[in-house]
């Protein structure tokens, strides 16, 4: 395990197949079990319209702040394993419905642009379904090259925000946030 632990690492969670709320709850707890990683805080969950095909079931989206000693690529590898554990099958249509999607949004002020890893997430700053829960969790968090989450939210046009609402039944899973 690394003794160098980084805060300011944000991860997005989303699901719209099966029981999306249960999938997101499971994912938060699973993130907390990744070696040398712990969940510090989790946003409320938001119900967001499916995109780009609004006829699909709505998504359940949340954002977590984690502390980790893992490299960004190792964290992404763990996220992909969690997606597979939740029944996610990659290789189909891009932006198709899914049992679980986990994206590393940013890792402090780290900027990486490689085929395997892009940080910050290249479209997080323009996606209302990411920004809404992130805004609820950490409005002043900075997205390298784009400004604060609040500033990115403010730049969205009103149409991008339509249909986004807090998921009323969401209660963040009981993980040992900050207790390790």
pLDDT tens profile 88-133: 666 666 566 788 999 999 999 999 999 888 999 999 999 999 999 9
**Residue boundaries of the structural domains of the chain:** 6-166
Cβ-count burial 36-65 (b if 16+ within 10 Å, e if not) = ebbbbebbbbbbbbbeeeeebebbbbbbbb
Both structure tokens of 20: 């999306």
Number of H helices, E strands in the chain: 4, 10
pLDDT digits (tens, 9 = 90+) for 25-84: 999 999 999 999 999 999 999 999 987 788 889 999 999 999 999 999 999 999 999 988
Catalytic residue among 6, 88, 161, 166, which? 88
Catalytic residue among 25, 38, 47, 98: 98
Burial of 7 (0-12, 13-18, 19+ CB in 10 A): exposed
- Kindly state the average pLDDT of the residues 145-157: 97
Calpha distance 180→178 (Å, rounded): 6
Residue with tokens 């940080």: 119
Looking at domain 6-166, its CATH architecture is: 2-Layer Sandwich (3.30)
Identify whether the C-beta of residue 43 lies closer than 8 Å to the C-beta of residue 133: yes
**Active site annotation includes 101:** yes
Q: Which of the residues 25, 32, 47, 103 is marked catalytic? A: 103
| Catalytic-labelled residue, pool 25, 32, 38, 101 | 101
Q: How confident is the model at residue 176 (pLDDT cuts 50, 70, 90)?
A: low
């Amino acid at each position: 395990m690394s003794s160098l632990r980084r805060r300011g690492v944000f991860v997005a969670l989303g699901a719209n197949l099966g029981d999306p709320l249960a999938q997101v709850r499971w994912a938060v707890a699973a993130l907390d079990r990744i070696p040398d990683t712990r969940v510090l805080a989790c946003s409320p969950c938001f119900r967001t319209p499916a995109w780009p095909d609004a006829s699909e079931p709505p998504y359940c989206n949340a954002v977590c702040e984690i502390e980790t000693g893992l490299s960004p690529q190792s964290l992404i590898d763990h996220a992909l394993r969690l997606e597979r554990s939740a029944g996610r099958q990659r290789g189909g249509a891009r932006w198709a419905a899914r049992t679980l999607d986990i994206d590393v949004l940013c890792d402090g002020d780290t900027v990486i642009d490689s085929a395997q890893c892009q940080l910050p997430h290249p479209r997080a700053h323009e996606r209302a379904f990411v920004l809404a829960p992130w805004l609820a969790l950490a409005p002043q968090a900075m997205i390298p090259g784009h400004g604060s989450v609040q500033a990115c939210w403010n730049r969205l046009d009103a149409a991008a925000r339509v249909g986004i609402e807090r998921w009323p039944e969401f209660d963040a899973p009981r993980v040992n946030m900050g207790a390790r």
